[in-house]
Amino acid sequence: MKKKILGLMMVMSCSSFGMEVSLEKAVDMAYENNRDLKNSKIETVQQDLLYKQSYKEGLPSISLESNYTDDKSDSYDDGYFENGIVLTQPIYSGGEIFYGIEGSQKSKELYELTYEKEKWDTRLEVVKEYIAILQLQKTLEVYETSKREKEEELNRQQEFYNLGLIDKSEILKVESSLYENESDIIDTKNEIQKEKMTLKKLMGISLEKEIQLSNIDTEKINPEKINFENDLKNAVKESLESKKLNLTAEITKIEEKAAKSEFLPEVDLEYAYESSDLASFSDSADVEDWQWSIGVSFEWEIFNFGSSMDSYKSAKLDTEKAEISRDDSIEELKKEITSAYLEMKTLYSLIETRKKAYETSNEIYEIDREKYANRLLDTVDYLQTESDLREAQVNYINIQMDYYQAYEEYLNLIK
């Protein structure tokens, strides 16, 4: 019976803490459930359909035609019908169909790259939110530790006050600091809840679902071991962002070529099986009244006041703009990668500095706490030492998390 009760308590305890989520699990859930990613995937499928549609523009089409003409002549008092089945095959379109297919194929590739880039961006957003929550949780632990120690000191000082060894102001100073501490705890808890809602939305799960985050290993690679020059070179040529920029410029160039088709004729082959001059629609059932015909249609707009030329010039300028934009964006990408790498180096060097600052503050605090317990240090100095320790502790926690995030941002740029 005791085993059953213990098992039930363990189940209730686990359920009260909610679902435990690691960083990679959070990312995987975002890949699967994130609504923005789902929309992006749908757009990729739609673009594939548009590519197939453009390809079919060059294939034969079959249409059923039926016309009625009202004729008051002696032969037809009530008019007559013309019915037919027509097969039309484009022969020449000045390149419009060809470039339409080529452009749709490039657009399809662009949407696929965009989807992959959005997955990486979503991963980075999840990492940022995950780290923000861990930073707040660890900060909350620092505040709660501070609260416990201050409560212990307050009880000790209360005993001194009862013995008449200190005055009331010393008690009030500790109480005031304790109230501020409690306020920080409440604010931090609220921030954690808000950040968790943002993370759950990214993961595509219910905002009411409780989650508990696992710790992450902040021991990332040393920046000095990164081959920055090689990463930069590869990113300019092979990263998802550079490929997107090049494809966008290519699509604009194809649109420029397609604009030339307005100067050229369109030629279609038409193969028809028709009936003509029938007194009623039902007469078309008589096979003897149907005839086969084949012909070529030729259409060429030879004058439109220069409208086609203006359209082509505009497309040519769009190509020039796209190439300028691509080159500028590539330079911006180089700058962002370089800045991200330098930020990594800065944060990595600060980790050791913040660690030493925390260790020093902790040593000073232990000394001053002992002095304060023996009334060799006043309350103001003790509280300042305690505040310096908590600040150094939070700074050391945050710098490790900040470096982890900076490394993820660097990876996002070079992928």
Nearest to 410 by CA among 306, 317, 337: 337
Q: What is the pLDDT of residues 191-244, one digit of tens each?
A: 999 999 999 999 999 999 999 999 988 876 888 889 999 999 999 999 999 999
Per the listing, tokens 């005791």 go with: 2
- Distance between CA atoms of residues 409 and 128, nearest Å: 9
pTM of the predicted model, to two decimals?
A: 0.83
**pLDDT score recorded for residue 11:** 36
Provide mean pLDDT across the span 342-364: 95
Q: What is the pLDDT of residues 80-95, one digit of tens each?
A: 667 788 888 898 888 8
Q: How confident is the model at residue 281 (pLDDT cuts 50, 70, 90)?
A: very low
Provide mean pLDDT across the span 148-172: 87
Structural contact between residues 395 and 356, judged by C-beta atoms closer than 8 angstroms? no
**pLDDT score recorded for residue 8:** 33
- Distance between CA atoms of residues 153 and 170, nearest Å: 11
Strands 80-92 and 266-278: antiparallel
Q: What is the pLDDT of residues 98-132, one digit of tens each?
A: 889 999 999 999 999 999 999 999 999 999 999 99
How close are the terminal C-alpha atoms of the chain, in Å? 57
**pLDDT score recorded for residue 372:** 86
Q: What is the pLDDT of residues 11-59, one digit of tens each?
A: 333 434 578 999 999 999 999 999 999 999 999 999 999 999 998 888 8
**pLDDT score recorded for residue 286:** 55
Residues 6+ apart with CB under 8 A from 224: 345
Residue 367, CB-side half-sphere exposure with 13 Å CA sphere: 6
Q: Provide the b/e sequence for 297-332 (b: ≥16 CB within 10 Å).
A: eeeeeeeeeeebeeebeebbeebeebeeebeebbee
